[in-house]
Amino acid sequence: MNRLKALGLLKQPQIFILLTTTICSGLLLILINFYTIKILNATRAYVNGESHYSKSQKDATRYLISFMLTSDQTQWQKFHRALAVPLADGRARVGLVNNSPAQQIKEDLLIGRNNEEDLDDMIWLYQQFKDVSYMKSAIHQWQQADPLIKRLDTIGNEVYYQLTEGKLTPEVKEKYLDEIGELSAQLTIFQQEFSDQLGQSSRALKGYLLWANIFFILVTIICVSAYYFVMVKKLTDSKNEIEQVNSDLIVANKELDHFVHSATHDLRSPIALLKGIINVIRQEESPEKVTELLDMMEVSLNRQDQFISDIIDYSKNKRSGLILEPLSMSKIIDDVLSQLHYIGEKSDIEIKKKIEVDEIFSDGLRLKIILNNLLSNAVKYADETKPNRFIFIKTYAQSGSYVVEVEDNGIGIKKEHHEAIFEMFFVTNSNKGSGLGLSIVQEAAQKMNGTISVVSELGQGSKFTLKIPRN
């Protein structure tokens, strides 16, 4: 029913449009934020790569000057290792411009000390934004720096050759030092311009994406608010319908009360008749045993009469909630057993009791209803083939609850029926009952904020466990 109502709401144009707009706005918001993170991460990777580029170039310059002054081969090796970073970055730039294979570009970027996890984003950012002004300007600065790096590499090779051949005179050395200084100064300018362009690009992009996020968030808020007001209106209409239904139910309850009273009168009439017959029989001459049995019948009938009155009270109190009072479990169990005392099937069933908790505070009427149904079922479904039949009643406290167990060694219940037995009108044997008893038991337990459960095996017996809160 709820699913049909939901489908009915979706078929209404305003609801469908609002939900569709909300979902689309949410998806676009997710998409925008995904690409925001991707772009900013790639920009960060380029800035980080430029820092490695700049540091390696400065280290290479320092190692080359040190080699010129000391002729230390270790400084020469360090020069080549440091200079390999900007040289590799230069090859990667050429690869990006010429659309070289991605793997080749990645290999050069890795030599340039870029993080492997950033490579795909770096390539993607260039391919998507290479014609945007900020990216074009940054790449231009990078392009201007690459020839200077190559010139520095050439100077290094010339210095190495002349130094090893003994041709590096003080005048030539001074000339190389001046050129290296100029190259370093120009490279610093290009590197700073590259970082500035990327920073401007990142800030501009952040502004655009921020406004896009604000726009779609506002669209989502507006749609959700509109959906809320539409649903409030529908809930108000539903409330009015429910009030009308409740009004109809009040009338139906009055008719049901009339039915209960009528049915109760029909049930009590035979009892009154039996009482009259008993009085007549007492006036006749009869054996003493018959008189004793008749007295017991009268007691049983009086108790049955009281039980029917209790059912009427139960019907009234069902709508008014629990009636809590101090109770004695022993007395309640004995009262229920006394009503079953003269059922023929019970005559040879042993009743065992273990009352660990007697004084409780609960709803006496509902406890009687539950125990009467459980014990009468234990008698009805006793296993006549077993010589030692028994019903074991136990009460105790456990984790803030009162627990009542009714166990028997009767015919048991099939496993697939364990849940179904609490459904109204479900019976395993139509000759044994109406199928209302255990459903009433479950309802009474729920009214007391308790639970009823069963453990049973076919041919072995059953154990019903009632748990009700102590407070």
The CA distance from 369 to 468, in Å, is 14
The CA distance from 292 to 298, in Å, is 10
Give the pLDDT score at 163: 84
The CA distance from 149 to 147, in Å, is 5
Per DSSP, which regions of 343-460 are E strands? 350-355, 359-362, 390-398, 401-408, 451-457
130, 89, 87, 176: CA torsion to nearest 10: 70
State pLDDT tens for residues 405-429.
999 999 998 888 888 888 866 766 6
Give the pLDDT score at 453: 93
The CA distance from 160 to 148, in Å, is 18
Evaluate if residue 33 carries a pLDDT over 60. Answer: yes
Evaluate if residue 253 carries a pLDDT over 60. Answer: yes
More confident residue, 405 or 199: 405
Give the pLDDT score at 239: 83
State pLDDT tens for residues 266-302.
455 556 656 665 765 666 666 665 676 666 666 566 6
Give the pLDDT score at 433: 52
DSSP-derived secondary structure for 311-372 = HHHHHHHTTT----EEEEHHHHHHHHHHHHTT-GGGTTPEEEEEES--EEEE-HHHHHHHHH
Give the pLDDT score at 262: 45
Q: Is 132 helix (H, G, I), strand (E, B) or coil?
A: coil
Q: Are 92 and 50 in contact (CB under 8 A)?
A: no
The CA distance from 13 to 226, in Å, is 13
Give the pLDDT score at 461: 92
Highest mean pLDDT among 65-79, 190-204, 225-239, 263-277: 65-79
Q: Are 76 and 63 in contact (CB under 8 A)?
A: yes
More confident residue, 282 or 64: 64
* Average pLDDT value over all residues in the chain: 79
Give the pLDDT score at 1: 44
Give the pLDDT score at 29: 76
State pLDDT tens for residues 148-183.
889 988 988 888 888 888 887 888 888 888 888 888
Percent above pLDDT 90 for the chain? 11
Evaluate if residue 264 carries a pLDDT over 50. Answer: yes
Evaluate if residue 75 carries a pLDDT over 70. Answer: yes
| Cα dihedral sign, 309-314-317-318 | negative
Q: Are 372 and 343 in contact (CB under 8 A)?
A: no
The CA distance from 63 to 55, in Å, is 12
- Range name among 114-123, 229-238, 393-402, 426-435 with the lowest pLDDT average: 426-435
Beta bridge partners of 342: none
Average pLDDT over residues 141-150: 85
Evaluate if residue 259 carries a pLDDT over 50. Answer: no
How many CB atoms lie under 10 A from the CB of residue 425? 8
Average pLDDT over residues 52-63: 88
pTM: 0.43
